Each structure stands twice: as C-alpha cells, then as structure tokens.
A = this chain, B = another copy of it.
Amino acid sequence: MHAAPVWDTLSARFGKRFSRNAYVRKEHSQSLTWLPAQEPDAVVFATSAAEVAEIVRLCAEHQVPVIPFGAGTSLEGQVNAPRGGLCLDLSRMNKILDVRPDDSTVIVQPGVTRKQLNRRLRDFGLFFPVDPGSDATLGGMASTRASGTTTVRYGTMRENVLALEVVLADGSVIRSGPLSKKSSAGYDLTHLFVGAEGSLGVITELALRTRPLPEQIVGGSCPFPSVAAAVEAVIGALHLGIDLARIELLDEISIRACNAYSKLDLPEKVYLFVELHGEANHVKNQANLFGELADDLADGPFQWTTLTEERQRLWTARHDAWWAIHALYPGRVGIPTDACVPISRLPECIAETQRDIADAGLHAAVIGHVGDGNFHLLIMIDPNDEAEVDAARRVVHRLSERAIKMEGSCTGEHGVGQGKAGLMRLQHGGALDVMRKIKRALDPYHILNPQKMLFDGDATK
C-alpha cells in the first residue's frame, strides 16, 4: 500500500469531499457493537458512479483498501478498516432516479435510505417491504443481504433486488443483469453482489422491486406458554397458507422491557406479534383463522385490530425493543447477534441457547423473526467486567455452532464482517474455497473491504 500519492490526488480532486480529519475518520468506523473501532486513513464522499470508478481505479493502482460505507448501521464490523485505507462514503448518492409503477420497479442510488424511499413510493401507492429496523441505506442493505420483520411474506434483499450497477475492483463499471423480472441468460451476478459486503464491487445503483400498499393492515398479539407452542402456531399458520406479513416472537424479558419503555401492559409471557396485509375482508378472515388456530396452543386470546394507532403502538414497541432492553439494564451494553435455522429446529435452538445464558449467569433477551427461523439475541453485559464479556462471546460462538449443526446459518441477517468470519469454514466447508476463488478472480489484490468475511486469520484483530 502506497497511500500518500492517493491522498494527494484525492485531496486535489475532491477538495472538501475528501477528509483525513480524526473525527470524520472515527465516524466512519464500527460504532454500534462490541467490536473495536478500526478507523480508515481517509474518507471520501462520492456523488456519482463515475467518481466511484475513478476512486477505485486510483486505489487499485496503489493497492489501497477501499471500504464502502452507507449509513454505518451494520453490526459485525463490516465498515471497520483493519488494514487502514479509504472509506468510500456513498451516503450523498441519495437520489431516487426513477419510479416505474407499471413495472413494480424503482431505481435508486445506493445512499437512499429505506424510509426516504418509502416516503416517495407512498405517492404511487407502493412500498419497499424490506425492513431491517434501522434506517439503513439500500446499498448497505443489499451488501449485507438484509432482511427483517416482513421477510416471511416479502423476502429479503435477495428477493427484492432486481439488478445492480457495480464498480469492480479494477474501476470498470458493469450491470449485473437486465430489468426484466426474469432472465435465464448467464450467471446470476446480481445475487453474487447481494450479500458480498462490498468485497466484490461497490454498488452504485440498484433496481428494486416495489409492492402495492396493502388495502388493509391487521395487527395483533397473542401470549403463549412457551417458545415451542408459539412456533407450533406459526408452523400451523404457514401450513394453512395464512399469508403472514410479520410474525415476531418476543420472550418474557423483551415483553417486560417493552411494557416499561413503550407503555404496553402485556403479561410477561412469550408473545407473538402478528401482522397481515391485504384486501380488507380477507385479512380479517385470516386474522380470525389465526386466532382459532392459536387458541389451542396459546395462553390467552389473539387480540387484533385494524385501527392504525393501536397497531402502530405494538409495532413501534417492537421496533424500539433494542432501546427498551437497554433501558431495562442501566449501565450495561448489548452484544447483539443473530442466527437462523430451519423453523422446525427453532424451539430447540432457542431453548438450548436460553439454558446456555442461564448457565453463564448472563442477562439476555430473545426476539425472533419466527416465520423465517431467524432470531436475535441481545446479551446485556457490563463492559468493564471482562469475564462477563468473554462469557457472552462464548455464548454467541456456541449459538453459531448450534445453528450450523442444525443445518442453519450463523447469521440470518447481520452478516459476517469481522464478527463471524471465524465461523465461515465450519459453516461452508469446501464451499469457502469456492468463495475465495471468486474473490481472487474479481479482486486479485484484495483491495475491496479486505480482511473480513473470507479472511483466514482472526478478523476481529
């Protein structure tokens, strides 16, 4: 890495949009989790694909690492700079370029955020369904293969990205595929870049799939005596073809936290929060059907409403659960993790994890996108108690191993970054070598977000 000439060139070319300021650099490293921040040497704010291409080409010439950056909301150290280099901030590429309602397609720059997009789409009677909670950028969401509460019905970014414009490691610009809904022409490059965490190219434009705003939304909640009973209700609903739009599991601790923080008054039990989208009569029928189905398994009635205010109270509480759980444990900070297993294994996976937490004497909350077999663990630690921090890390590691053993994934939606890089061999076996061959073929000097996902050493150092 011969960075000095790169900094000189970028400074001359981009003026105030280039910075080596300590505060700006700090802002562009991992900040939300237990992973130590690793700052880039410099930050540049790009405003077009041509600029991104120019920047990457320059960095490639001098073998300077390039770390793409959106809103910085990733949780596994994806935006850290373990080898220094340049943070390529795309947040100013935030134009919604073209809404095409007839084609259910919208074309955006990578710095557009989810909420910004949905504000615009609302005027067309449309929305973009993927909802990871935070107001992430769409480029970042694609790169992390993000998902969230609505995946059970609408899919993850995998199912909702139609095509990408990408700047490759040599600075060339390609389109990953056509804008038609289908294509059988050639390798599926779109899905190769989705989830690659910026390690194969920098996304400079996205064509996304939009959906019609539902005529009616039903929201409701139902208590259960156990996680197993709740999951059984969900499996039953999926069997019956009930088209769940959201189905979230909250454990007793999460409910206690939401009660306190968001002024709910639910009994401290395991809960399912449910949402249904569709034609008015249909969703009411489906809600009743879910209620009947749940009745045999539940620990109380399924209470639902079509009133926007009541429904939003529930879902705002769900979205604020991160803060609510933090508020429940003053002075402690959360170590977040997620895992995903075939849904039939979910009760067992959660039960073993909860035993593990109890055995370690830790405090943790479980919240799950149960329709997908995906759940979050938020372990609330005292950051000054090294033994507790280590215990929490061991619980996370064992959860990852457990999920992999159950034919699942060590992460359903947070991604790999640095935090889960050490698990890739266990999860993928020989397939990891295929990934590395692809990486080498497309980025021979390892300049794109290096020393993360596919790294062979300890990526957290």
Interface residue ranges, A against B (CB under 8 Å): 100-105, 125, 144-147, 151, 155-156, 158-159, 168, 172-189, 191-192, 194-196, 200, 211-212, 214-215, 235, 238-241, 278-279, 281-282, 285-286, 340-344, 372-374, 403-404, 407-416, 420, 423-424, 427-432, 434-435, 437-438, 440-442, 453-454
Contacts and interface: CB of A to CB of B under 8 A. Distances in A.
A238 B180 contact: no
A155 B155 CA distance: 12
Nearest to A146: B184
B184 A342 contact: no
Residue from A181, A278, A430, A435 whose CB has the most chain B CB atoms within 10 Å: A181
A166 to B, nearest CB: 9
28 contacts: A103-B344, A147-B182, A151-B182, A156-B182, A158-B188, A168-B434, A173-B430, A174-B429, A178-B407, A179-B342, A180-B409, A181-B372, A181-B374, A182-B372, A182-B373, A183-B411, A184-B416, A185-B409, A185-B424, A185-B427, A186-B428, A186-B453, A188-B194, A188-B195, A192-B192, A241-B278, A279-B286, A282-B282
A239 B427 contact: no
Nearest to A195: B188
Contact of A212 (B173, B177, B238, B453): B238
A188 B240 CA distance: 30
A443 to B, nearest CB: 10
Given A241-B212, A285-B282, A186 B340 contact: no
Contacts of A372: 180-182
A211 B168 CA distance: 38
Top 6 closest pairs, chain A to chain B, by CB = A183-B409, A191-B191, A441-B441, A180-B408, A102-B344, A180-B340
A151 B182 CA distance: 9
Contact of A442 (B155, B373, B424, B437): B437
A184 to B, nearest CB: 4
Contacts of A239: 101, 125, 212
Contact of A434 (B282, B340, B442): B442
A148 to B, nearest CB: 10
Nearest to A372: B181
Q: Which of A180, A412, A423 has the most CB of B within 10 A?
A: A180
